Chains A and B, each alone.
Chain A
Amino acid sequence: MHNAPAISPLILFLASILTSNILLSNFLGTCSFISISKDWKSSFGLGLAVTLVIGLCAAISWIVLWFIVMPLGLEYLSFVIFIIVIAAVVQVLEMIIDRFSPALYLSLGIFLPLITVNCAVLGAVLFMQIRSYSFIQAVTFGFGSGAGWWLAIMLLAAIRKRTEGNPVPAGLKGTGITLVTIGFMAMAFLGFSGMIAVQ
């Protein structure tokens, strides 16, 4: 029913973490990336939550896309529909975690409301549509993008921890130097781009 690109899901998974990292190549989801990365523990929780949400949203959005949006010819509405789906998925996920694992809720549940408006989630879902992935590809791409985001925020949190006390020009303190750091990280990740090409 569609022409999915011929990429093995495993390759796609690795590619979405390294060569086309959703954060460092596409610069999506930067706001919570910058604000939460101050703290290692919170970064871990948020990264885990983002991975779960992107993966789940990619799967559910794929079903909505192929069984509702495309048959009805409503592709022009996919932005709106995906946002609704993401909001609902996050809400449901929060309720389930809250009920069944208070410990997990404490470490990642509280970040879920932040993620509803995280553009990395919508970005990944839209890539999935544009590149017309198959269901398996969509899911691996979703979880891969999330894992890439997770890796990036953990790296940044570690760097920020290391450079915490370093003397920085007054005007660059805080977000300024963080943005510069992210730029260096993005350049470093550029080094992966020769390994696997993914579109």
Chain B
Amino acid sequence: MNPIVLGPLTVALLSALLALVIAILDKLLNNYGIVKLRINGGKKELSVQGGSALLGTLAAEGIFIPSACGGRGSCGACKCHVLTDVGPHLPTETPYLSPQEMALNVRLACQVKVRKELEIELPEALFRVRKFPARVERIRDLTYDIKEVLFDLGGQEIEFDPGQYVQIVVPPYEKVGESTQRAYSMSSRPGEKRHVELLIRLVPGGLATTYVHKYLKEGDLMDLIGPFGEFGVRDTPATMLCVAGGSGMAPFKSILHHMQETGAWPGKDIWYFFGARTAKDMFYLDEMRALAAIWPRFHFVAALSEPGPGERWEGDTGLITDVLDRYIREKIDPSPGFEGYLCGSPGMINACMAVMRKNNVGEDKIYFDKFA
């Protein structure tokens, strides 16, 4: 036979043969059958195919432990508690674990193989993050440029803390060639698990906001991914100073309703400052005032910075930062201490931080999400 054909053919056949042997052995040897995973003391139980690394096994079940290297054991990010004895730490794990972590049975999920029933512990937040195929149930105009969009999760339930956000997946449209994701705080309350409500303001030129305002219709489908974020109420007795502008209302709507309905964090007084330019930009006024009327520890301050001529306005006027400054100095009892909760444009957040710093609110006690 022609050596040009014979050489490659032999190599190819030999490789194929060896690959076949490996594949057959893999099927025979790496078969541990169905194995049980008990997560967080039995809160969640999974039946999985044994034989692969814990990291990949969990990912196949939709639980994503963060991993930067994709399971090659070179980043050390996929740490998790394995309570079952799976043997001593491997030399591939030890460089990433401190002696304390080793004593606590922390392992790298990419190095631990699932061979038998395992008992593991994961941060709760990890298995709450999911992709929800949602349907737009209702779109309501709150102002001329802010829409309230209610999504129906089709029977699925989302578990989140008030103040967290979801990413919406915007499909390609018009000249936007690829799918994009944008983060929005949820304005729905956590008790309402089958729905997610978002407040979306039209940003001129914004990819996602333009899509939502110009294209999205009731009945449309859209994927939501979440929940994410650590913008939530801190468990301290300090008084909450919440400041929002525009669609920054969203997380506070969720937080306030949640606190009022469940009586959570009963020691905290809440002051909520909501700023808008003109009466046309103001929304949820009646809802917030009604809430303040029935809930003694909640105080609502709405302010217009430039009330239009002829607009009737009985609330405060002035920049929200000036109003905030005045209230901190004159009206709010400083003895429990203050915590700042901000949601709005970066400009508003910076200005509010300056005011709070001036009034001795520690920088480490001012919380906000950076995606605004």
Contacts and interface: CB of A to CB of B under 8 A. Distances in A.
Interface string A68-100: 110011101100110011001001100110110
Contacts, number: 52
DSSP majority for the B interface? helix
Contacts of B22: 88, 91-92, 95
Interface residues of B, number: 21
Interface in B43-96: 87-88, 90-92
Contacts of B25: 92, 95-96
Interface string A179-192: 00000000000000
A95 to B, nearest CB: 5
Contacts of A102: 87
Contact of B10 (A72, A88, A92, A95): A72
Given A72-B6, A84-B15, A99 B21 contact: no
A106 interface: yes
DSSP majority for the A interface? helix
A81 B14 contact: yes
Interface in B1-31: 3, 6-7, 10-11, 14-15, 18-19, 21-22, 25-26, 29-30
B91 A42 contact: yes
Given A77-B7, A92-B25, A99-B29, A110 B91 contact: yes
A92 B21 contact: yes
Nearest to A111: B91
A87 B21 CA distance: 12
Contact of A84 (B6, B18, B87): B18
Contact of B11 (A84, A91, A99, A106): A84
A47 to B, nearest CB: 15
A129 to B, nearest CB: 16
A64 interface: yes
Contacts of A92: 21-22, 25
A98 B29 CA distance: 9
Pick from A64, A69, A88, A96 the residue with the most CB of B within 10 Å: A88
Nearest to A73: B3
B87 A95 contact: no
Closest 8 CB pairs of A and B: A88-B18, A99-B29, A95-B29, A77-B7, A91-B22, A84-B15, A95-B25, A74-B10
Interface of A: 42, 64, 68-69, 72-74, 76-77, 80-81, 84-85, 88, 91-92, 95-96, 98-99, 102, 106, 110
15 contacts: A74-B3, A76-B7, A77-B10, A77-B11, A84-B15, A85-B14, A92-B22, A95-B26, A95-B30, A96-B29, A99-B30, A102-B87, A106-B87, A106-B90, A110-B92
